Amino acid sequence: MRKSVLAAALSGTMLTLAACSGGAEEATETTEAAADAGAETEEATAEAGVLDASTATAEQLAAVEGVSEELAAAIVAGQPYASVTDLNAKLLETLGAEDAAAVLVNVFVPVNLNTATKDELKLIPGMTEKMEHEFEEYRPYEDMSEFDREIGKYVDEAEVARFKNYVTL
């Protein structure tokens, strides 16, 4: 998002300068190219999925909505994280609970399906008590296809895929 705002600001500046110099046509093309580049950056970030807080760089973290450069540096300083509860504790040092939960949507420490505590499962974005129970009921999971099959009984394929961003074996 920050990159899109920056691209838009630069595009506006370029358009203004070009208009003053009589090159409005070139500025329009440049503005469109910058807008396309901003959209591509957002798409690449969305495709990248959830960042692992134990391995992400400060630059990657700072690009996430809700993560300032200072928070990104603090997250990197705490690497590696033993669990998502450790990451959440780090976030709560500077953010409120709601803001920390919003960051966990995009920055997470995958929880092991077979060993995760209730506290770790509760931190998975979108987790409900019912789903927490279902995650625990099918332990131990032999592989991710078993997770797909068993959790797929309760939620659709897209939701299973979303949950898989936050879990591991």
pLDDT in tens, the chain (169 residues): 444 433 444 344 343 334 444 444 444 444 444 444 433 433 333 445 899 999 999 999 999 999 999 999 999 999 999 999 999 999 999 999 999 999 999 999 999 999 999 999 999 999 999 999 999 999 999 999 999 999 999 999 999 999 999 999 9
Structure tokens at 109: 């420490």
Query: Which whole-number Å values give the CA distances from 41 to 37, 64, 130, 154, in the listed order?
Result: 6, 12, 36, 34
Element (H, E) at 167: strand 167-168
| Exposure letters 71-93 (e unless 16+ CB within 10 A, then b) | bbebbbebeebebbbbbbebbee
**Closest C-alpha among 59, 63, 79, 62 to residue 71:** 62
Q: DSSP letter at 98?
A: H
pLDDT at 7: 41
**Whole-model pTM?**
0.71
Structure tokens at 11: 């595009």
pLDDT at 55: 97
pLDDT at 20: 42
How far apart CA 41 and CA 36 sit, in angstroms, is: 9
Cα angle 63-66-69, degrees, rounded to a multiple of 5: 55
How far apart CA 119 and CA 40 sit, in angstroms, is: 36
pLDDT at 49: 87
